[in-house]
């Protein structure tokens, strides 16, 4: 039996080569470097056995209906899977996998740390200042930032990424680690001298707050008006998790009122745009105490190829009658 696989957007080539090499697989790929139009997605999935989806595509009941009873698997090219209606897939007996790989956590942790340093030392602002010709000579108080040594980092979530961030910062930079999670993590505490706190206490005590939780009903707008009201006026927020974990309007309000010192966002509510009125979106884009990256925390050659291979390995295991290694 040949398995017809539709890829909703071109991904790095290593995984695609693996799929093309297997004679049991008939592969078709949406080749344009853009989000596939919904109407075309519904048309292209018809009769497919497997969909290799990207996190920008909502794979819901309508897509499953369009594919028909032939659809047996959805392989997501992402670690998260909030773009897939898992309940609907389970009801229909459709296997769902993600592209979790150690490289992903490594890259996102590195990106988180890069954003933290950039905020503390005002790197983006200083780069613009210099490039725009404003630098006229060294000044004792020009673009003063802050040291990281001795500061307190509050981690909301201690999964793979949160743990990697703690490992890299707690030793070499002497940063104090606080954390909150659904339950205490004694191994994490022992490894990094971390202290478990309630979310409220963590927000009050941290100089940097970094988000590392999945997007769930319980975590949507976890960072809201009340949360920002608890943070230090000198504190920074970093979000490399999922955009809707932060209430965008509440963040803008906190920044305007100087309730917090700044933020670094790799993900946004309403991606690829901000879920904000135009004036607030403009404010966010032009605030120098805010760093914005376009969902590129895992955007390294090594990681994106590893994700491609992982998605392919999941599909190959499935067509060979085995349980995919990353089945959700």
What contacts 233, CB < 8 A, 6 or more positions away? 258, 259, 260, 261
Q: Catalytic pick from 3, 101, 212, 242? A: 242
What lies within 8 Å, CB to CB, of 293 at 6+ separation is 111, 115, 264, 265, 266
Please provide the DSSP assignment of 216-283 as one string.
Answer: -TTTTT-B-HHHHHHS-TT-EEEE-S-GGGB-HHHHHHHHHTTSSSEEEESS-TTTTS-SS-HHHHHH
Q: Output the CA torsion 56→61→63→64 (10° steps).
A: 120
Catalytic residue (choose from 14, 88, 189, 271):
271
Q: Which of 92, 168, 221, 295 is catalytic?
A: 295
Q: Is 57 a catalytic residue?
A: no
| Whether the Cβ atoms of residue 247 and residue 223 lie closer than 8 Å to each other | yes
CA-to-CA dists, residue 248 to 151, 223, 304, angstroms: 26, 9, 28
Q: Round to whole Å and give the CA distance between 240 and 245.
A: 10
Question: Does the annotation count 128 as an active-site position?
Answer: no
What CA–CA distances, in Å, run from 175 to 50, 213, 228? Answer: 46, 21, 22
Q: Can 242 be counted among the known catalytic residues?
A: yes
Cα–Cα distance, 9 to 53 (Å, whole number): 8
Active site residues: 242, 271, 295
């Amino acid at each position: 039996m040949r398995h017809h696989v539709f890829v909703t957007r071109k991904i790095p080539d290593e995984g695609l080569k693996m799929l093309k090499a297997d004679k049991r697989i008939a592969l078709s790929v949406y080749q344009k470097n853009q989000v596939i139009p919904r109407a075309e997605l519904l048309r292209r999935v018809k009769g497919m056995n497997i969909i290799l989806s990207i996190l920008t595509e909502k794979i819901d009941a309508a897509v499953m209906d369009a594919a028909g009873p032939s659809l047996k698997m959805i392989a997501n090219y992402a670690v998260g899977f909030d773009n897939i209606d898992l309940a609907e897939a389970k009801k229909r007996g459709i296997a769902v996998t993600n592209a979790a790989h150690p490289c992903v956590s490594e890259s996102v942790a590195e990106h988180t740390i890069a954003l933290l340093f950039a905020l503390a030392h005002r790197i983006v602002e200083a780069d613009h200042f210099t490039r725009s010709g404003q630098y006229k000579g060294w000044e004792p108080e020009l673009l003063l930032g802050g040291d990281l040594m001795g500061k307190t980092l509050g981690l909301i979530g201690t999964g793979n990424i949160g743990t990697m961030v703690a490992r890299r910062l707690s030793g070499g930079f002497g940063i104090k680690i606080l954390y909150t999670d659904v339950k205490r993590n004694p191994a994490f505490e022992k490894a990094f001298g971390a202290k478990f706190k309630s979310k409220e206490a963590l927000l009050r005590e941290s100089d940097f707050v970094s988000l590392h939780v999945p997007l769930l009903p319980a975590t949507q707008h976890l960072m809201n008006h009340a949360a920002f009201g608890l943070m230090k006026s000198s504190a920074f927020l970093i979000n490399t998790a999922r955009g809707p974990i932060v209430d965008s309007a509440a963040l803008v309000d906190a920044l305007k009122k100087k309730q917090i010192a700044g933020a670094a966002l790799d993900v946004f509510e309403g991606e690829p745009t901000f879920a904000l009125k135009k004036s607030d979106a403009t404010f966010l884009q032009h605030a120098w105490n805010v760093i914005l990256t376009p969902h590129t925390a895992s955007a390294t050659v090594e990681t994106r190829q590893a994700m491609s291979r992982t998605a392919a390995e999941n599909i190959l295991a499935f067509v060979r009658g085995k349980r995919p290694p990353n089945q959700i």
